[in-house]
Each structure stands twice: as structure tokens, then as C-alpha cells.
């Protein structure tokens, strides 16, 4: 059975003399992708903390904060026994309402997901640094599916000299290639089929990755084959900078894609070797 804590003071008291601590921050609606992160955390630490908190700071106007799935009992039921769950109320983390001081994700935070969702990454980094300060883990585990988030958290840890290591686990996919996401439950059956265009585009880019141009052309052709997928972006970025790679780039790039399928926004990414 999991242990449940809802207050900062109680969690901090529990973590005294807890040995090596690994932390997995989530917004709940746990699926096999989250559980892969938890099992990775179990491998590298004595104590594992999983936060379940739907952070209002990273949702913009008109986004799905109100309808984001919340079922704490169901989430606790799928977690391995012995895991510590931190599930605070919003007022526990933000007792005065909106915060006056928050982190800035910088220029990269305004690109790709940040361009479509202004302020999203500022809110994400703010809650992550708050949670890291509360849990004080030795290692924090994220999933590669949220590539831009991982890049920004890694830079935050580096730039702020935070005493925590980051461990990034591979994206978990359905057998047909769809990346696992809490938002997949919003998809109807026809929409789920349409959503496969994202992973198809990544596969096409990988198969045609002699140059940036060939990879992008192949990916966009795969996306065009599903005209009901409203594509926001497809690009190839340098994993060291998260900036688009130049035409003559050689080496490993990250292919990133985002699209809206029905009312659901989905993202995905994959490594691509160019040159």
C-alpha cells in the first residue's frame, strides 16, 4: 500500500533519514508511462516519492485544467506498494493564490509548446522547483515524451545549481506506436486512429534521415495523409540547445511534433540521426 501525505510538513518529517530519495512528479491520471518512471525510480533509490498535483500555473485560458482527469484513489491503486504519494491541495502549494515570484523558462520557453501555450513552461518550472525544494530528492525522474520540458528542467537544474540529478526514461508506447499520455483518454476511436499520424511522422523522418530536408519532407507527407490532424509544428532540434538544426547538421537531432486531434492536443518526439 502507498503512503499518502497532503501537507509539506508531514512529508518532510517522513523523509527524514529516508536514505537515497528518487522523485517522480506527475499530475495524476497515471498510466504505464508513469509507472515506468516509478519503476526506474525504485531501481535507483531507497525511497520513492510520487507527487500527484494538477498545477494551475501551467494551464492557460481555455485549456483543460477544469476537466483534467483526477482520481487519487485509482492512481494510488496502480502504484507499487511502499511508494510515498504527495498529493497536496492547491492551497498547500499556493496559500496566497497566484504566486508573485515565478521562474522564467527564458527564450526556449517561448518556442514550440511555449509559443502555443504562453506561460506554460514558466508555470511548470515554478512548480517543479517548489516540489524539488519540498522533497529534496537525490534524483528526479522524467519521461522523454515531454522533450521540451525535460530540456528546460535540465537547464534549470544546471543554471540554478540544484543538488539533484535528472534521470530521463524512454517514451512508453502502445503496440501501434501511439505515445502514452493522460490526454489519450479524451480521444474517440476515430480520433485515436488519427493520432497515429504523430508517430508515423516520426518514423518517416527516421527512415528518411539522410538530411534535414529529407527527414522533414517525409514527416510532413505522413502528417498530410491524416488531414483531420491539425498540425501545430514538426521540426528537428539540437538536443543540446533545443534550437532547430541547420540544413547541413550531422549527428543526433530530436524530431518533435505537436497536433490537435479533435479537441485534444498531443505531442511526441524521437531521436533522428542526420548525415
- Sorted by sequence, the CB contacts under 8 Å of residue 80 that are 6+ apart come out as 38, 39, 42
Nearest-angstrom CA–CA distance, 30 and 70: 10
DSSP annotation string for 44-92: H-SEEEEEE---GGG--TTSSTTTS---HHHHHHHSPTT-EEE---HHH
Structural domains of the chain in order of their starting residue, each with its CATH number: 3-169 (3.40.50.620), 182-274 (3.30.1300.10)
Whole-structure pTM value: 0.95
Tens-place pLDDT, residues 219-252: 999 999 999 999 999 999 999 999 999 999 999 9
Check 34, 39, 120, 138 and give the catalytic one. 34
Tens-place pLDDT, residues 194-223: 999 999 999 999 999 889 999 999 999 999
Q: Would the pLDDT of 104 be above 90?
A: yes
Cell for 187? 480521444
Tens-place pLDDT, residues 140-155: 999 999 999 999 999 9
| Mean pLDDT in residue range 112-136 | 97
Q: Could you give the percent of the chain with pLDDT greater than 90?
A: 94
| Catalytic (active site) residue 34 | yes
Tens-place pLDDT, residues 163-176: 999 999 999 999 99
Kindly report the three-state secondary structure assignment for every residue of 123-176.
HHHHHHHHHHHHHCCCEEEEECCCHHHHHHHHHHHHHCCCCCEEEEECCCECCC
Tens-place pLDDT, residues 20-63: 999 999 999 999 999 999 999 999 999 999 999 999 999 988 78
C-alpha distance from residue 221 to each of 134, 229, 262, 272 (Å): 46, 13, 20, 17
Amino acid at each position: 500500500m502507498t503512503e499518502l501525505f497532503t501537507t509539506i510538513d508531514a512529508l518532510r518529517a517522513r523523509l527524514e533519514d529516508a536514505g537515497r530519495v528518487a522523485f517522480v512528479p506527475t499530475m495524476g491520471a497515471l498510466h504505464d508511462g508513469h509507472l515506468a518512471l516509478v519503476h526506474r525510480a525504485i531501481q535507483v533509490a531507497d525511497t520513492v516519492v510520487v507527487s500527484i498535483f494538477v498545477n494551475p500555473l501551467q494551464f492557460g485560458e481555455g485549456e483543460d485544467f477544469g476537466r483534467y482527469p483526477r482520481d487519487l484513489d485509482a492512481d494510488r491503486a496502480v502504484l507499487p506498494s511502499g511508494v510515498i504519494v504527495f498529493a497536496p491541495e492547491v492551497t498547500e502549494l499556493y496559500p496566497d493564490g497566484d504566486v508573485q515570484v515565478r521562474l522564467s523558462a527564458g527564450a526556449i520557453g517561448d518556442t514550440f509548446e511555449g509559443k502555443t501555450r504562453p506561460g506554460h513552461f514558466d508555470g511548470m518550472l515554478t512548480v517543479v522547483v517548489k516540489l524539488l525544494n519540498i522533497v529534496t530528492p537525490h534524483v528526479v525522474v522524467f519521461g522523454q515524451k515531454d522533450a521540451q520540458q525535460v530540456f528546460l528542467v535540465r537547464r534549470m537544474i544546471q543554471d540554478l545549481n540544484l543538488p539533484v540529478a535528472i534521470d530521463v526514461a524512454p517514451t512508453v508506447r502502445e503496440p501501434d506506436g501511439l505515445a502514452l499520455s493522460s490526454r489519450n483518454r479524451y480521444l474517440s476511436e476515430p480520433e485515436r486512429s488519427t493520432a497515429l499520424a504523430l508517430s508515423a511522422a516520426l518514423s518517416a523522418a527516421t527512415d528518411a534521415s539522410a538530411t534535414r530536408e529529407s527527414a522533414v519532407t517525409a514527416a510532413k507527407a505522413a502528417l498530410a495523409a491524416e488531414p483531420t490532424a491539425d498540425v501545430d509544428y514538426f521540426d528537428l532540434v539540437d538536443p543540446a540547445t533545443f534550437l532547430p538544426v541547420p540544413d547541413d547538421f550531422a549527428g543526433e537531432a530530436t524530431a518533435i511534433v505537436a497536433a490537435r486531434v479533435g479537441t485534444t492536443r498531443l505531442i511526441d518526439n524521437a531521436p533522428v540521426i542526420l548525415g
